[in-house]
Structure 1
Amino acid sequence: MTIRVLIADDQALVRDGFGMILDAQPDIEVVGEASDGREAIELARELRPDVVLMDIRMPHVDGIEATRRLGAEGAASPRILMLTTFDGDDYVYEAMKAGASGFLLKDVRRDELVSAVRVIAGGDALLAPALTRRLIEDFVRRPRPGGGAGEGLGELTEREREVVRLVARGLSNAEIAASLVVSEATVKTHVARILSKLGLRDRVQVVVAAYESGFVRPGEDA
């Protein structure tokens, strides 16, 4: 199956560079390019890509608002892989809340970019290592009381709560499996059940719910 990708960035060189890398892959096709968030929304609705590479800072409509508007369209919305030059930027956390499924720094290696697109298209979420735990702890230090998906955390089994804590630390399924001494397939099952019980789209939203509800607090061990 070919992964259809839309690239949204206000810098032509970035669009061209990422486009060349992705189009060179046998299973990826760049179906369009957008120079701002407004155009990204229009093209995403017209072209129905599987993944949108979305720059955070763009004119007219920024990447966060574009992500929020596309996400509001429900199951028909593409998965958003957010691009940023900032490894400690408050905008990244806002993008998590808006519904982005993954984050990469713009200086990402080509193999990491290709892998990230495949991961996102496959239904998983991705946080670049440079953004994971430090970003979460920097920008989620003000947990908000209850509400939303956080209320459902108490309905999870003890093992599912363990998985939530490890997801909130930024661990991959393989790392969680090693920590809990279970198979990776078992972890995937736990994550799927957590998403279903909490009504969430992916593990990035699990991170947001865990921290904002106070279930997991910055700096604590899982």
Structure 2
Amino acid sequence: MPTPPARPIRVLLADDETMIRHGVRLILRHAGDIDVVAEAADGRQAVELAAAHRPDVALVDIRMPVCDGLAAIAPLLALDPAPRVVMLTTFGDEDNVLRALREGAAGFLLKDEGPQELIAAVRAAAAGDSVLSPGVTGSVIARMLHGGDRDGCDPALTDERIARLTVREREVLSMLGEGLSNQDIAGRLGIGVGTVKTHVGAILEKTGSASRVQAALLAHRTGLSS
């Protein structure tokens, strides 16, 4: 029997600007494997619609009225099943990006990224990969390294977390710091994607990281990635 087609990636879009939502919806519609199942104008509505429509990925603007994107992260991640939350941001919003990562967001994407970058980000998030917009990543990491993110920065605690990892897990963590996907890591190490996912799960558990993005930041903080 022929293999049935994969189910489209279900996306919730939350942004208070109607034109932004319209543009993103049109871009994702042309992807073929992505379906925007709900749109919200604020964080509270995003949580309600996510509970009703069960999206795989939630694209959430950081700055919204009533309930902003930052406040929506925790209730979104408390849903069962929980969507992968990707924050939509702009240049100069690094402080809020750091807060979002601490709350467990899967990553961040600049609003003015191109169509292909947007589609790739949704696919990466749905696959469990991190979403790190190059235009923001460098600034976020630099701010963290210079004290912008104090959570878990005790050197002794950080060393203890790294010491829990196997040699292979440290290799994988270093590549997470480079922003590589599971597929890219598998290709570089010559192992299966399933094995990479197992390593990533172990890394998150052993380091106490809430997401791949937090693990990537840890890799930079400890010098495993530069």
TM-score (normalised: structure 2): 0.80
When the two structures are aligned, how many residues end up with a matched partner? 215
Instruction: Name the structure 1 match of 2:74.
Output: 68
CA distance in 1, matches of 2:107, 2:38: 20
CA distance in 2, matches of 1:133, 1:25: 28
CA distances 1:8-66 after superposition (whole Å, capped 9, x unpaired): 00100000111111123322111111111111111111211111110011111111110
Q: 121, 124, 141: which is aligned to 2:129?
A: 124
Determine helix, strand or coil for the equivalent of 2:66: coil
Are 2:6 and 1:22 equivalent residues in the alignment? Answer: no
Q: 95, 102, 109: which is aligned to 1:97?
A: 102
CA distance in 2, matches of 1:141, 1:163: 24
Q: 56, 68, 72: which is aligned to 2:62?
A: 56
Instruction: Name the structure 1 match of 2:215.
Output: 206
CA distance in 2, matches of 1:191, 1:32: 30
Are 2:48 and 1:39 equivalent residues in the alignment? Answer: no
CA distances 1:105-130 after superposition (whole Å, capped 9, x unpaired): 11111111111111111111110111
Change (3 A) 1:119 1:39: same
Q: Which amino acid aligns with 1:39?
A: Q
* Alignment check: 8 A CA contact 1:97 1:208 kept: no
Deviation, structure 1 residue 141: 2.3
CA distances 1:117-152 after superposition (whole Å, capped 9, x unpaired): 111111111101112233212234224326989853
* Alignment check: 8 A CA contact 2:94 2:139 kept: no
Q: 72, 78, 81: which is aligned to 2:86?
A: 81
* Alignment check: 8 A CA contact 1:88 1:135 kept: no
Determine helix, strand or coil for the equivalent of 1:77: coil
CA distance in 2, matches of 1:61, 1:148: 34
Deviation, structure 1 residue 4: 1.0
Q: Which amino acid aligns with 2:27?
A: I
Are 2:2 and 1:2 equivalent residues in the alignment? Answer: no
CA distance in 2, matches of 1:10, 1:32: 13
Change (3 A) 1:38 1:5: same
CA distance in 1, matches of 2:158, 2:58: 25
CA distance in 1, matches of 2:198, 2:138: 23
Change (3 A) 1:95 1:148: farther
Determine helix, strand or coil for the equivalent of 2:101: helix
Change (3 A) 1:139 1:146: closer
Structure 1 residue runs without a partner (length 5+)? none
Q: Which amino acid aligns with 1:152?
A: R
* Alignment check: 8 A CA contact 1:50 1:79 kept: yes
Structure 2 residue runs without a partner (length 5+)? 1-6
Change (3 A) 1:87 1:115: farther
TM-score (normalised: structure 1): 0.81
CA distance in 2, matches of 1:148, 1:188: 25
Determine helix, strand or coil for the equivalent of 1:108: coil
